Chains A and B, each alone.
Chain A
Amino acid sequence: MARSSASKGSPAPVLDSPRMSSRGKKRTSKRPGKKAKASGTQTPARTKSTPGTAESMAAKQRDISVSEFFAKNRHLLGFDNPRKALLTAVKEAVDNALDACEEGGILPDITVVIEDLTDTNGNGSNKPVKGKKKAKAEPAPKKTPAKSSRYRITIVDNGPGIVKKQVEHIFGRLLYGSKFHRLKMSRGQQGIGISAAGMYGLITTGKPMMIQTRPKKNKPAHHIELAINTKTNRAEVTMDVETDDFPLARLRTLTPGTRKLSTQSQFLDAFVYPTGTSVTIELEGRYQKGRGSVDEFLELTAIANPHARITFVPPSKVSAPEDSGDDAEALLAPSASEGVPSSSSSGTGVSPASSADSTATTTELDGVIIFPRAINELPPETLEIQPHPKGLELGILLQMLKESAAEKPDLTLAQFLRNKLSRVNAPTASKLCKKIGLTARTRAADVDHATAEKLFAAFQDIDLPAPPTDCLAPIGVQQLLRGMFKGVRAEFFAASSRPAQVYRGRPFLIEAGIAFGGELRGDDTARVIRFANRVPLLFQQSGCSSFKAVTETKWKNYDLQQPRAGLPVGPIVIMLHMASVWVPFTSESKEAIADYDEIRKEMKLALMECGRKLGSYLRKRKKMKREGERRDVFERYIGEIAKAINAINDTDAKELYDVLLEQAREKTAVADQILNDEGKRIKAQNDDDDGVIIVDSEPVPSASANATPAPSASEGVSSSSSGVGVPPASSPPGRTGVSPVSPSSSPRKKKRIVKKKKRKSPKPNPGDQLFE
């Protein structure tokens, strides 16, 4: 039982990211067998009608393959319904792709293509099978159920590729992975393995998985097709050839959008994908928009991974809603498909990989959605750490002792403590040994259960430094801002990144972000988007610690409405990210973060930081509005005054009007400046921290920028530059790590300018008609 609890408590889910192993990391290939046995013992088949003898029963008792187990219990892996299955398959592949790229030190460029294979309805259905030379041999798929249809998903990454002989293990076996037991921050915890997705596809469509991978530049790629044998938990390779077709040329001509982008080298360009892997799975699913959709997952992934460029080709049609359906309006909708020029479509011959426009926003072109790269740096590589004694559970301790002893029989207890645990040095180790009445020389192998229990108790008593926190890689304030900026059409963005903390001996850190206003809907409750180790959490929101943190934060302090113990109401998106070597999920489904006080407290602190920024922005905005009204008031009465004065002393009314109007504008302009300079809060926002982006949706008439406001606008907010231009861009000096904007770049139509001031463009002069 100790073992099974260990696997449950482990950060890495069983089927995690098997691809890792191929890159020379350590792997735990023993795992699958163990688990298989465990599950096998749980499910002896039994017939109730005829009482059986021990022998007759024994005849039926047999080993069950882990694959078989999960094939029957696919809901455990996130394939409970067709819609979720499609999402899970995409998610597994994307998570793996990102992990692979990062481990290979490559800026991820990921393309997700979902093809609609329902061939009964005409319309773009009979998807070109021309490129697909192989799948023919497979048996005909079973009849498509009414509520789902067939899709072919293809996920292509530009990662380091996979060594050919590992392909079948990685994709063809469940529970084959590298991250199962280590304490390291990785996406892996989320997934249940690409092999499970492949297995699901096999079960629902009978089609094998198709993998192309090119591990070495300029060398042929491998094309492998395999089906998992659920009985043996081994892959059956049905095809294994060398090919030059990577990335798949077929996909480039899939839709008008992909054709267009391809001609601009914007879609699956060989230059961008010199190495990499492509996975294709046919499966039964439902493609719908809205909450919990593939679109949402990719949007959120793009937010938490601003260093990645993700291209998404959705299927030609959306499935009919199955029930009331979430309202499909995505708050993070890509910009209008009218084709706002962006980094992705405007540059000619510019490799997308080289253009990380700081003001990149999600765009859609002829049905292809592009989440551009917003930052050109990979997140720092995270370190693996040893478990901290305070966070250890007895079962795990026992298991570690046993494993260590097996590895090295003469290992002493002191050595074990020092080498296998975090923050235990030699004095502490001998202190611990003394405490439990053993000498430091005692062999680890000789520690029995009772002693281990004593040792475990001693861990709780002793003072130890907190575990190291350099094992965590925050997304970072700048990156968060960029990520949200490209994905959320808001006018104000704030982010904060908390220092690392510890819960139960495990380091973690919390980051929060807020997007406010703009095109977000104001009458709804806030949308909370949650991430754990950069992976979006899409389900079980209300059970999540982050959700509680949001509702417990006093949003009223920041000028937002908040019903009692509820989410704030307003045009706001709240983002929370937890990075940890071990994210405590509430359940196996890994959809919500468990409610630890330490975690919730950090979340609230992070939210409060963002809230303060938002509050001061809102207050400032109110002031600006007041200024605007003030000017309106003046302008309104000036005409009357001019007329009255004219009636009294014959002053030229028009002239007087013009003079007064000018004064009015000056007056309010002056007031604007005073506002900006005097308000301490506003100043703080400007100078102290960079965790803010403010977007001015209105173009600023250059004439009205009377000297002072404009410069102050750009200097404080380093997060984004003020012009949006055509990449390649060049940058004003002093911008940190932001890709540059050419000074000559003319403002584009839908302006997303970072600016401190919101200024009204002068109204047409009412006086003109007034005195005609």
Chain B
Amino acid sequence: MAKKRTTKKTTTSRAKTANAADRDVLTDRKIIALADDVAKRAFAGAEPRIEIPTRSRSNTNWNKKRGILEMGDNASERQLFNLNQAKQFMQTCLHASSVKELIAADKTLSLRGMFYKGLHTVAGTKEKTFAEQTESDGVLEDLEVALSSLREELHIFAKKAGTMVGNITLIDSGDEINCRKMGSGGYAIPSIVEPDVIQFGKCEAKFILHCEKNTVWSRFNEDRFWEKHNCILTEGGGQPPRGVRRMLRRLHDELKLPVICLLDCDPWGHYIYSVIKQGSISLAFESERLAIPDARFLGIRSKDYKACGLSDDVQIALTDNDIKRAKEIAAYPWFEGKKHWQKEIKIMLDSGFKMEVESLITKDISYVTETYVPERLKTKDWLD
């Protein structure tokens, strides 16, 4: 019900629900607790440290029943008096104080904004607090897990990196977005798509077709594929950011739309599918609200080289790294038990080459939109 209430608000600033306010209070409290712990330890003569759940494969568990990746209980300590961690400790403290400031001001910042927020020269030295944004991004993810708060709850968003178009109407911060009339560019999926920001309006679409890259998505959009097949077309610019995944998940959950992925036939594409389906290792703590265990992999498939009669030119030889990665993926527990996936990867490894979705263009400019995808959809020829 909360979202309905917010839909009526049309303020330019971010709509604040009671829910969001509660959340902010909670986050604020967590940050203060973290700082208190540091101070308390320091005054007690103990080493200050921050406990951060480990974001690694070893601390990622495959919940077979729910079909998602979950974060384990392992946590590492970020210690001040450890040469490798001292700087990160300092950065974590800096970001924690920045977040507190953001919450107090009820404003959000981008990841890059946070980088600049925390950026200054360490007193008495020539060293900067952050050498580059990636350092800051990593620390923010740590802070998320340390506080077990989501990025949105920390008032931080990422840059927009996803596009959608289709038979649906959205309300974004009170503005009505008709995704049927987005021209050639499409609607840019924001980083924060929580119900207090985005609500769904009228939707005729029956499914979602998610493309890996913008180029492929543009082909579909230009051919008005979503119109012909009554669907929503999304694209995540490679590995889809959290906003896109959360949007897919919400569409899937709330509007019961199946998600079908059109990705490259290479380890990278396979892992994108894996992330959409069961969640990622680094963000395992978010799988709960991001993963879509029912997502399907439509293509392109290793068999398509023959099935579609593609020319030799589209083959891209697998690199050593690709082979290593493919084997790694095949060994993931969530791939391990799936025979057709094992077969798919094996064929790719045996043939020794990978293919991109764009390779279908060699057949015909619109082959992918007019023949390939419709046929596969019709025969439900996809991988689970």
Contact = CB atoms under 8 A, between A and B. Distances in A.
Interface of A: 630, 633-634, 636-641, 643-645, 647-649, 651, 655-656, 659-660, 663-664, 667, 766, 769-770
Nearest to B129: A640
A636 B127 contact: yes
Nearest to A627: B83
- Most chain A beta-carbon contacts within 10 A, residue among B32, B47, B96, B97: B97
Q: Dominant SS at the A interface? A: helix
B31 interface: yes
A641 B80 contact: yes
B81 A659 contact: no
- Most chain B beta-carbon contacts within 10 A, residue among A634, A638, A645, A655: A645
Given A644-B94, A647-B97, A663-B45, A639 B39 contact: no
Nearest to B32: A649
Interface string B102-138: 0000000000000000000011110101000000000
A634 B86 contact: yes
Contact of B39 (A634, A638, A640, A656): A656
Contact of B97 (A637, A648, A655): A648
Contact of A766 (B32, B36, B123): B123
23 contacts: A634-B86, A636-B124, A637-B89, A637-B122, A639-B122, A639-B123, A641-B38, A641-B48, A644-B35, A644-B96, A645-B35, A645-B93, A647-B97, A648-B35, A648-B93, A648-B97, A648-B100, A649-B32, A655-B43, A656-B39, A659-B42, A663-B47, A667-B47
Given A634-B80, A649-B39, A660-B80, 5 more contacts: A641-B93, A648-B32, A648-B34, A656-B43, A667-B47
B81 A647 contact: no
B94 A640 contact: yes
A515 B185 CA distance: 74
B185 to A, nearest CB: 41
- Most chain A beta-carbon contacts within 10 A, residue among B81, B101, B125: B81
B282 to A, nearest CB: 25
A766 B121 CA distance: 14
B278 to A, nearest CB: 36
The 8 closest A-B CB pairs, nearest first, are A648-B35, A644-B93, A637-B90, A647-B97, A644-B97, A651-B39, A766-B124, A649-B35
A636 B126 CA distance: 10
Given A637-B87, A641-B89, A660-B80, A648 B123 contact: no
Contacts of A766: 123-124
Contacts of B94: 640, 644
A769 to B, nearest CB: 8
A659 B41 CA distance: 10
B124 A641 contact: no
Interface residues of B, number: 31
B47 A639 contact: no
A630 B32 CA distance: 29
A766 B122 CA distance: 11
Given A641-B93, A644-B94, A636 B38 contact: no
A643 to B, nearest CB: 8
Contact of B83 (A630, A639, A649, A770): A630
Contacts of A664: 81
A633 B35 contact: no
B122 A636 contact: yes
Contact of B42 (A630, A637, A640, A663): A663
A212 B81 CA distance: 72
B43 A633 contact: no
B100 A647 contact: yes
Nearest to B120: A640
A637 B32 contact: no
Contacts of B124: 636, 639, 766, 769-770
Nearest to B40: A651
Contacts, number: 84
Contacts of A655: 43
Nearest to B31: A648
A663 B43 CA distance: 10
B39 A770 contact: no
Contacts of B34: 648
Nearest to B123: A639
A690 to B, nearest CB: 34
A770 B125 CA distance: 12
B162 to A, nearest CB: 33
Contacts of B43: 655-656, 659
Contacts of A633: 83, 86-87
B125 A636 contact: yes
A651 B35 contact: yes
A664 to B, nearest CB: 7
Contacts of A651: 35, 39
Contacts of B127: 636
Contacts of B35: 644-645, 648-649, 651
Contacts of A639: 122-124
Contacts of B93: 640-641, 644-645, 648
B204 to A, nearest CB: 49
Contacts of A667: 47, 81
Given A640-B93, A641-B90, A644-B96, A634 B81 contact: yes
B263 to A, nearest CB: 42
Contacts of A647: 97, 100-101
A645 B80 contact: no
Interface in B21-57: 31-32, 34-36, 38-39, 42-43, 45, 47-48
B102 to A, nearest CB: 12
Nearest to B46: A663
Contacts of B90: 637, 640-641, 644
B42 A656 contact: yes
B34 to A, nearest CB: 8
A645 B83 CA distance: 20
B121 to A, nearest CB: 10
A637 B101 CA distance: 21
A647 to B, nearest CB: 4
A663 B46 CA distance: 8
Contact of B86 (A637, A643, A645, A769): A637
Contact of A640 (B38, B48, B100, B122): B122
Contacts of A656: 39, 42-43
Nearest to A660: B42
Contacts of B80: 634, 637-638, 641, 660
A318 to B, nearest CB: 46
Interface string B351-367: 00000000000000000
A634 B36 CA distance: 20
A459 B344 CA distance: 86
B237 to A, nearest CB: 34
Contacts of A663: 42, 45, 47, 81
A727 B122 CA distance: 50
A647 B45 CA distance: 21
Nearest to A630: B83
A611 B83 CA distance: 31
A556 to B, nearest CB: 27
A634 to B, nearest CB: 6
Interface string B311-342: 00000000000000000000000000000000
B262 to A, nearest CB: 46
A636 B43 CA distance: 19
B209 to A, nearest CB: 46
A644 B36 CA distance: 12
B36 to A, nearest CB: 6
A677 B345 CA distance: 54
Contacts of B123: 639-640, 766, 770
A663 B44 CA distance: 11
Contacts of A634: 80-81, 86
B349 to A, nearest CB: 45
A670 to B, nearest CB: 10
Contacts of B83: 630, 633
Contacts of B100: 647-648
